[in-house]
A = this chain, B = another copy of it.
Amino acid sequence: MAEQQLQNWVLMVTAQTPTNIAVIKYWGKRDEDLILAINDSISVTLDPAHLCTTTTVAVSPAFDQDRMWLNGKEISLSGGRYQNCLREIRARASDVEDENKGIKIAKKDWQNLHVHVASYNNFPTAAGLASSAAGFACLVFSLAKLMNVQEDNGKLSAIARQGSGSACRSLYGGFVKWIMGKEENGGDSIAVQLVDEKHWDELVIIIAVVSSRQKETSSTSGMRDTVETSALIEHRAKVVVPKRIIQMEEAIQNRDFPTFAQLTCADSNQFHAVCMDTSPPIFYMNDTSHRVISCVEKWNRSEGTPQVAYTFDAGPNAVLIARNRKAATLMLQRLLFHFPPNSDTDLNSYVIGDKSILKDAGIQDIKDVEALPPPPEIKDKVPAQKYKGEISYFICTRPGRGPVLLTDDSHALLNPENGLPK
């Protein structure tokens, strides 16, 4: 080691981790420090092509402290959540040898080596899209690879969980369950994959990012307030959710979209209900969110069977899960009809992600949006209501894979020479 420290080597790993959206919601902790939930939750992992975090972690004897950059800006690592993740990963580090570079790090050396972390979200920040889930999952996954941690993703999920509860679900693709566990130390509070992303590959996901300047209650303080003050949360956690978890797992296994949609919508609404039952009440959805729900509910009812499920996290953005591409196309037409962009917005930045759905919807130009006819289910109600500018943009995506290592050095966010952001 003494010899190596003279060299200014930098060893790096880059990984990409998806974000996820819960269909049975996590809301409420039984342990604030370890981040242990009061109920199981189930999520779908989103395609990292459209929503993911990329993180490069580097180690070098030249680093004199742990440092991190998020989207190019240095942030503090002193928070308990970062410290917990770093400590837990270091404790599981193994010997690492890079013969090409002539680097050898012994298991015990990791306690004295500092790391640099650079993280980048491929979606707009502050859009309320659960960037902390992907972020902590990616931090833990990439550090584990760097430090040659031998544990599987389930064990890693229990570490990511200590950064951000929902992060544990981003360690897998497809549909993922976070088992709340029973142990005091949280060792059994881990994520498991229910099915991979190929199991139900018909599903299409459209995210409506709602324009909003309201400051929202952070989910950490929000769920603490709910657990302390809601008269309904215990009944939800102990009686309602356990049944829904069983039904949801079955619906996912069977690709039973009507049951899946019913449970997804009901559980999103119940999560927002217990937020409202909090003192002081927490309102994450706004009038635009309500309008999106109303649009989906009307269409689903008119079709006789659900075409689209909706779910909302701790913010006004709608995540819409369509049963297939056809339903997604018809949904997007409805959304664009009711929520046309402001006149200074071009279509290309109004619908992002998998733009092929736009094509299927016959929309190539902002003029095509203006020409959309009212959906048949509202045709009798003239004038049809339009809410221009209430949505910032739409992201078209699908269920996706879990974390991957990016071996192509060009993806690294840190400079291989000095371990500083590129």
Q: A-side interface residues toward B, CB under 8 Å?
A: 229, 231-232, 235-236, 239-240, 262, 265-266, 269-270, 272-274, 276-281, 283, 286-287, 290, 293, 297, 301
Closest Cβ neighbor of A212 among chain B residues: B287
Excluding A270-B277, A280-B301, 9 further A-B contacts by CB distance (< 8 Å) are A231-B236, A231-B240, A231-B266, A232-B232, A265-B279, A269-B276, A270-B276, A273-B274, A273-B277
Contact B293 A281 (CB under 8 A): yes
Report the separation of the CA atoms of residues A231 and B297 in the bound assembly, to the nearest whole angstrom. 19
A270 partner residues in chain B, CB cutoff 8 A = 231-232, 276-277
Closest Cβ neighbor of A234 among chain B residues: B235
Chain A to chain B contacts (Cβ below 8 Å), 17 pairs: A231-B240, A231-B270, A232-B270, A235-B235, A235-B239, A265-B279, A265-B281, A269-B276, A269-B277, A269-B281, A270-B276, A272-B276, A273-B274, A280-B293, A286-B287, A286-B290, A287-B287
A262 partner residues in chain B, CB cutoff 8 A = 279
Closest Cβ neighbor of A289 among chain B residues: B283
A235 partner residues in chain B, CB cutoff 8 A = 232, 235, 239
A273 partner residues in chain B, CB cutoff 8 A = 232, 273-274, 276-277
Least CB distance from A312 to B in Å reads 11
Contact of A269 among B236, B240, B279 (CB under 8 A): B279
Report the separation of the CA atoms of residues A272 and B232 in the bound assembly, to the nearest whole angstrom. 12
- Which 6 A-B pairs give the minimum distances between C-beta atoms? A273-B277, A273-B273, A273-B276, A280-B297, A235-B235, A269-B281
Report the separation of the CA atoms of residues A240 and B233 in the bound assembly, to the nearest whole angstrom. 12
Closest Cβ neighbor of A276 among chain B residues: B273
Least CB distance from A216 to B in Å reads 12
A297 partner residues in chain B, CB cutoff 8 A = 280-281
A240 partner residues in chain B, CB cutoff 8 A = 231-232
Least CB distance from A314 to B in Å reads 15
Least CB distance from A145 to B in Å reads 42
Report the separation of the CA atoms of residues A231 and B269 in the bound assembly, to the nearest whole angstrom. 11
A265 partner residues in chain B, CB cutoff 8 A = 279, 281
Report the separation of the CA atoms of residues A386 and B54 in the bound assembly, to the nearest whole angstrom. 40
Closest Cβ neighbor of A279 among chain B residues: B266
A283/B279 contact (C-beta < 8 A), A231-B266, A235-B235 known: no
Report the separation of the CA atoms of residues A199 and B229 in the bound assembly, to the nearest whole angstrom. 30
Least CB distance from A135 to B in Å reads 28
A274 partner residues in chain B, CB cutoff 8 A = 273
Report the separation of the CA atoms of residues A273 and B273 in the bound assembly, to the nearest whole angstrom. 4
Report the separation of the CA atoms of residues A279 and B240 in the bound assembly, to the nearest whole angstrom. 15
Closest Cβ neighbor of A270 among chain B residues: B277
A239 partner residues in chain B, CB cutoff 8 A = 231, 235
Closest Cβ neighbor of A316 among chain B residues: B287
A229 partner residues in chain B, CB cutoff 8 A = 266
Closest Cβ neighbor of A301 among chain B residues: B280
Report the separation of the CA atoms of residues A283 and B280 in the bound assembly, to the nearest whole angstrom. 18
Scoring A240, A262, A269 by chain B CB atoms within 10 A of each residue's CB, the highest score goes to: A269
Report the separation of the CA atoms of residues A340 and B276 in the bound assembly, to the nearest whole angstrom. 27
Contact of A283 among B236, B281, B290 (CB under 8 A): B290
A232 partner residues in chain B, CB cutoff 8 A = 232, 235-236, 240, 270, 273
Closest Cβ neighbor of A243 among chain B residues: B231
Report the separation of the CA atoms of residues A293 and B283 in the bound assembly, to the nearest whole angstrom. 10
Report the separation of the CA atoms of residues A232 and B233 in the bound assembly, to the nearest whole angstrom. 9
Report the separation of the CA atoms of residues A44 and B291 in the bound assembly, to the nearest whole angstrom. 33
